[in-house]
C-alpha cells in the first residue's frame, strides 16, 4: 500500500526537479510511512511513499524490468501476483524481490495494454515505457484506490491525493461550480470530476495513456449486466458464492505484517470474520468495532456477540460528540476533497484505533451494493405500490399527514424515512436513489447558490450509467448505479482516506473481481426477495450465523448528527455557518443557510444532512482554500 505521484512534461528539454518531486511526495507520507522512492529521467519523474505489507525488507519501489526501460509504481495490492509471477518466470522474466508490484513492468512487456486484464486486486498504478515514450495509468475495477490527474499542453501530473497535486505550483486551485453543486446534491463528487477545475479522477476500471502531448482514456472493464452462460440454480449460486468469497478472503490474508478485521455485527462484516476463522486460528484474529453512546445508533453489542461466537480477540471503542473537537481537524486535514458523509468520523476513529494493533484489516464494504442491502432498495419497491395510489389521495391526504409528523432525531426515524421517501418520489427512477441518499435537490440548490440547475444536469451521472440497461433486469441497474457512484466515490473514498491517514490498509473481499463478476448478473430477486434484503447471502450463511445477526434490521455506520448540532456541536455550526462568513466567501446565499440552521435548532425540521454537508464544505474551504 502506498501513495504515488508523477510528472511528465511535454517538452523533452524540461527536467523534473528532484526537490519539487520530493515535496509533492512528502504530502503522502501517512499513506506510506516506511519508505520513499523516486525515479527521474529528464522530463519524467515518478515517486511514491510505501507502507510495507509484502516483502517488507525487499519490496521497494519504483520497480523495473531487466533493462530498466519499463518503470512501475503502484498503490495497492495485486492478490494474484504469485500466479502471474510464475507464468512470467516460465517465459524467462527475472525478478529481484518478492513484492507484488514487480510483476507489473514484466506483465506489461508481455501483454501491452492488455496487462490489466490479468490483475485481481486493488490498485492505482503508473508505468513509464521508455521505449515508446509513453506513460500508462490504470485504476482497479471497483475504484478502491484513488488516482487524480491534471493535464494541459505543458504536461501531465498525477497523484493518489489532491494535496500532492496542489503542492505543484502549476496545478490550478479554482473551485468548479458544477462540482460544488454535485457535492451538495450527492454529498460527494462523482468521478471523473474533482472539486477543482481541470483536476480529474481516473474512473474505476479505466486506463489512461499519455503520449506525444495527448491523453487517451479508455475503459478496460465494466460490471457485467447479465451472465453469458447457463444460469445457476439457487443452491448452485449459494455454493459458488461461498467458494468465491472464501477464495477472496484467503487472498486477502496474505500479509507479512499483523492483520485483523472490522466487525460491526452486521451480516457483511460477520460473514468476512466467519470465513477468516475457517482459514486462520481464531485466536490469531483480531476484530475491531466502534460503538455510540446513543442507543439507536449503537451496534457494539452485536459485534461483541459475533466475536464471541467465533472466539476471536475483539476490541471496541466508543465514539461521542466530546471526541469531535480533536478529531474533526484531523479529518479535514486528510480529507482534501469535501465529503458530506458524516460516518467519515467514526471510520477515522475506527481506523486509528485498529492501527494500534494491526497494519491490515479486512472489511465488509460492497455487500450492500452487491445484495441490495440499503433501505433505499426497499423504498424503491414501495415506490411501485405508492405510484398506484390515486393522485388525489396522495396529494390531499397522505403527503400532508406525513409533513405534519413530529421531527425526530433517532437513527432513521419514521418521520425521516417517510419525508425522505416523498422527496425522492418527485423524481423519475434514474434520479430517485440519488435524491433519497443525497442532500440538496435542484430547486433547493438554486435558492442556496443562486445558480439554476436542472435535474438532468445535476444527476447526469445517473443517466450516463443507466444508459443501455436491458429492461428485463429488474433492480440490477439500480445496483449498478450504486456501485458506480455511491460505492466508488463515497464509501470507498471514505475508507481509503480514513485508513490511509493512519497508515492502515483495508481490504474488501466482497469487491474481489471474481465475486463481483459472479454476483452482479444474478437475478435481482435473489438479492432482494420480497422485502428481504441480501437474500442470497443470508441463505448462504444461515448455518454459520445466528438468526439475530442474519435478520436484524440494517443499521449502517450512522452518526447522531441531528442531535449533536442542537447540543454539543451547536457553537461550531454557528461559527462555521455564520452569515458574515458565508457572505464574504460568496458561494452560498447566507439567508438560505441561516434559515436551514434555525429551523433545525428550533426543532421545526431535521436538516442534519444538509447542514452537515455545508459544515464539511466550510471546514474544507478553510483548510484547503480555492477561489470561486
Predicted confidence at residue 387, as pLDDT, reads 81
CB-count exposure of residue 584 (10 Å: 0-12, 13-18, 19+): exposed
Q: How far is CA 408 from the centre of its chain?
A: 29
User: What are the grid coordinates assigned to 322, written together?
Assistant: 466530546
What is the rounded distance in angstroms from the CA atom of residue 549 to the CA atom of residue 266?
A: 6
Are 205 and 138 spatial neighbours (Cβ–Cβ below 8 Å)? no
Which CATH code is given to the segment(s) 2-219?
Answer: 3.60.20.10
pLDDT value of residue 557:
63
Query: Of the candidates 218, 248, 142, 145, which has an alpha carbon nearest to the alpha carbon of residue 486?
Result: 142
- What pLDDT, on the 0 to 100 scale, is given for residue 502? 95
> What single-letter DSSP state applies at residue 546?
-
Under DSSP, the state recorded for 80 is T
Q: Assess contact for 504 and 354: CB atoms under 8 A.
A: yes
Task: State which H helix or E strand residue 134 sits in.
Answer: strand 134-139
Provide the grid cell at 608: 442534519
How confident is the model at residue 512, as a pLDDT? 97
Go through the chain and tell me how many residues it has.
628
CB 116 within 8 A of CB 94: no
Closest to 63 (Cα-Cα) out of 113, 132, 2: 2
SS3 574: helix
**Of the candidates 78, 74, 151, the residue with the CA atom closest to the CA atom of residue 118:** 78
Which pLDDT score, from 0 to 100, does residue 374 have?
93
pLDDT of amino acid 625: 80
CA atoms within 13 A on the CB side of 545: 29
What was the pLDDT predicted at 494? 97
**Residue carrying C-alpha cell 439500480:** 478
Answer yes or no: 2 catalytic: yes
Tell me what pLDDT residue 466 has. 74
302 vs 299: CA distance, rounded Å:
6
Concatenating the DSSP letter of every residue in 361-423 gives EE--TTHHHHHT-SHHHHHHHHHHHHTTS-HHHIIIIIHHHHHTSPP--STT-HHHHHHHHHH
Q: How many other C-beta atoms can be found within 10 angstroms of the C-beta atom of residue 283?
A: 9
What local confidence, expressed as pLDDT, does residue 413 receive? 64
Question: Distance between CA atoms of 166 and 137, rounded to whole angstroms?
Answer: 19
Extract the residue ranges of the chain whose pLDDT is less than 50: none
Catalytic, out of 2, 395, 397, 502: 2
User: Is the distance from CB of 142 to CB of 204 less than 8 angstroms?
Assistant: yes
Q: Are residues 198 and 139 in contact, defined by beta-carbon separation less than 8 angstroms?
A: no
Q: Where are the domains of the chain?
A: 2-219, 234-372+493-550, 376-476+560-624
Three-class SS state of 130: coil
- CATH number for 234-372+493-550: choose from 3.40.50.720, 3.40.50.620, 3.40.605.10, 3.40.50.1220: 3.40.50.620
The predicted structure's pLDDT at residue 418: 83
Q: Which residue has the cell 440490477?
A: 476
The pTM score is: 0.94
DSSP one-letter code for 15:
P
2-219 shares its CATH topology with 234-372+493-550: no
Which of 30, 613, 626 shows the shortest CA–CA distance to 338? 613
* SS3 state at 178: helix
Amino acid at each position: 500500500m502506498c501513495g504515488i505521484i508523477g510528472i511528465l512534461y511535454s517538452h523533452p528539454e524540461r527536467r523534473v526537479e528532484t526537490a519539487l518531486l520530493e515535496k509533492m511526495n512528502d504530502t503522502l507520507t501517512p499513506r506510506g510511512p516506511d519508505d520513499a522512492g523516486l525515479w527521474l529521467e529528464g522530463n519524467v519523474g515518478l515517486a511514491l511513499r510505501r507502507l510495507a505489507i509484502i516483502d517488507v525488507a525487499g519490496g521497494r519501489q519504483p520497480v523495473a524490468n531487466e533493462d530498466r526501460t519499463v518503470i512501475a509504481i503502484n498503490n495497492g495490492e495485486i492478490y494474484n501476483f504469485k500466479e502471474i509471477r510464475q507464468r512470467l518466470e516460465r517465459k524467462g522474466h527475472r525478478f529481484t524481490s518478492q513484492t507484488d508490484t514487480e510483476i507489473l513492468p514484466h506483465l506489461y512487456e508481455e501483454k501491452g495494454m492488455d496487462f490489466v486484464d490479468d490483475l485481481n486486486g486493488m490498485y492505482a498504478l503508473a508505468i513509464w515505457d521508455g521505449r515508446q515514450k509513453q506513460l500508462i495509468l490504470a485504476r482497479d475495477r471497483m475504484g478502491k484506490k484513488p488516482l487524480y490527474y491534471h493535464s494541459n499542453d505543458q504536461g501531465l501530473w498525477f497523484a493518489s491525493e489532491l494535496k500532492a497535486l496542489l503542492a505543484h505550483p502549476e496545478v490550478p486551485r479554482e473551485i468548479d461550480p458544477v462540482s460544488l453543486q454535485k457535492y451538495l446534491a450527492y454529498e460527494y463528487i462523482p468521478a471523473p470530476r474533482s472539486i477543482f477545475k481541470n483536476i480529474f479522477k481516473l474512473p474505476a476500471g479505466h486506463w489512461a495513456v499519455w503520449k506525444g502531448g495527448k491523453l487517451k482514456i479508455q475503459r478496460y472493464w465494466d460490471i457485467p449486466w447479465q451472465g453469458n452462460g447457463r444460469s445457476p440454480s439457487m443452491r448452485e449460486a449459494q455454493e459458488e458464492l461461498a467458494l468465491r468469497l472464501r477464495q477472496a478472503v484467503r487472498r486477502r490474508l496474505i500479509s507479512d505484517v499483523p492483520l485483523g478485521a472490522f466487525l460491526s455485527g452486521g451480516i457483511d462484516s460477520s460473514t468476512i470474520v466467519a470465513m477468516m476463522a475457517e482459514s486462520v486460528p481464531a485466536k490469531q484474529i483480531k476484530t475491531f468495532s466502534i460503538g455510540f453512546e446513543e442507543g439507536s445508533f449503537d451496534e457494539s453489542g452485536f459485534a461483541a456477540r459475533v466475536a464471541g461466537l467465533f472466539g476471536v480477540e475483539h476490541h471496541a471503542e466508543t465514539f461521542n460528540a466530546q471526541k469531535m473537537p480533536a478529531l474533526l481537524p484531523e479529518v479535514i486535514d486528510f480529507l482534501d476533497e469535501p465529503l458530506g458523509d458524516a460516518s467519515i468520523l467514526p471510520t477515522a476513529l475506527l481506523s486509528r484505533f485498529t492501527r494500534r494493533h494491526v497494519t491490515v484489516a479486512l472489511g465488509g464494504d460492497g455487500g450492500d451494493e452487491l445484495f441490495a442491502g440499503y433501505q433505499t432498495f426497499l423504498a424503491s419497491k414501495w415506490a411501485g405500490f405508492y405510484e398506484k395510489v390515486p393522485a388525489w389521495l396522495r396529494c390531499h391526504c397522505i403527503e400532508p399527514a406525513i409533513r405534519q409528523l413530529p421531527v425526530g432525531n433517532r437513527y432513521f426515524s419514521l418521520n425521516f424515512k417517510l419525508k425522505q421517501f416523498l422527496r425522492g418520489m418527485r423524481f423519475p427512477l434514474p434520479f430517485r436513489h440519488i435524491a433519497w441518499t443525497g442532500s440538496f435537490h435542484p430547486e433547493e440548490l438554486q435558492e442556496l447558490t443562486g445558480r439554476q440547475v436542472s435535474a438532468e444536469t445535476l444527476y447526469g451521472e445517473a443517466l450516463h450509467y443507466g444508459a443501455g440497461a436491458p429492461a428485463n433486469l429488474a433492480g440490477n441497474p439500480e445496483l449498478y448505479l450504486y456501485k458506480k457512484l455511491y460505492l466508488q466515490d463515497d464509501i470507498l473514498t471514505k475508507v481509503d482516506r480514513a485508513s490511509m491517514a493512519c497508515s492502515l490498509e483495508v481490504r474488501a473481499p466482497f469487491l474481489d473481481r471474481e465475486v463481483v463478476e459472479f454476483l452482479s448478473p444474478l437475478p435481482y430477486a435473489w438479492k432482494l426477495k420480497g422485502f428481504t434484503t441480501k437474500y442470497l447471502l443470508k441463505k448462504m450463511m444461515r448455518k454459520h450465523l445466528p438468526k439475530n445477526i442474519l435478520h436484524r434490521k440494517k443499521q449502517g455506520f450512522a452518526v447522531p448528527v441531528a442531535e449533536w448540532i442542537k447540543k454539543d456541536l451547536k457553537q461550531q455550526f454557528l461559527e462555521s455557518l455564520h452569515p458574515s462568513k458565508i457572505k464574504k466567501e460568496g458561494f452560498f446565499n447566507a439567508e438560505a443557510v441561516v434559515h436551514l440552521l434555525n429551523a433545525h435548532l428550533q426543532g421545526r425540521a431535521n436538516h442534519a444532512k444538509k447542514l452537515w454537508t455545508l459544515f464539511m464544505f466550510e471546514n474544507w474551504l478553510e483548510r484547503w482554500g480555492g477561489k470561486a
